[in-house]
Amino acid sequence: MNLVQAIQAEQIKSELPAFCVGDTVRVSFKIVEGKTERVQAYEGLVIAMKNAGIGKTFTVRKNSYGIGVERVFPLNSPRVESVEVLRRGKVRRAKLYYIRTKVGKKSKVKELIVSKKPEGGTEA
């Protein structure tokens, strides 16, 4: 392993939850304003993920006062404090760029309902 790969291996985050395109997430992101630093939450729908090793990014889209706002977050950035999955989405595409043209209820993604199998013995 060369020096670049060794440095990249140290930077990769492992504590983030598994999420994918179509999920609604809340990203806690550090913002620097002058000398102060605070954490701001950004909540929206994951419409794209780009997998490029250490440079892995994901795009989150939300509606703010009727205007669609998108933001690209680097997954392994030290400024990303946490990613919390609020809803799982049921989608059949890898990129949800078509959501940009939808308005109102049509821009929603159906929720993925995961059935839980009963633990233990057989069903009665």
Give tens-digit pLDDT for 68-85.
899 999 988 889 999 999
Three-state DSSP at 120 gives: coil
- How many angstroms separate the CA atoms of 30 and 42, rounded? 11
* pLDDT interval class at 117 (50, 70, 90): low
pTM of the model: 0.81
DSSP secondary structure letter of residue 76: T
Residues 14 and 76 sit within 8 Å (Cβ to Cβ) = no
pLDDT of residue 118: 64
* pLDDT at position 40: 94
Alpha-carbon distance of 18 to 91, in angstroms, equals 16
Q: Tell me: pLDDT of 120 over 90.
A: no
Q: What pLDDT does residue 119 have? A: 64
Q: Do residues 21 and 48 touch, judged by C-beta distance below 8 A?
A: yes
At residue 112, the pLDDT reads 81
86 or 118: which leads in pLDDT: 86
Q: Determine what percent of the chain falls in helix, strand and coil, rounding each to the nearest 5.
A: 15, 40, 40
Please name the fold of domain 3-103.
Answer: SH3 type barrels. (2.30.30)
Domains of the chain by residue range: 3-103
pLDDT in tens, 15-72: 778 889 999 999 999 999 999 999 999 999 999 999 877 888 999 999 888 888 999 9
Q: pLDDT-based confidence at 14, cuts 50/70/90?
A: confident
Region for 53 from its dihedrals, namely left if φ exceeds 0, alpha if ψ lies in -120 to 50, beta otherwise: left
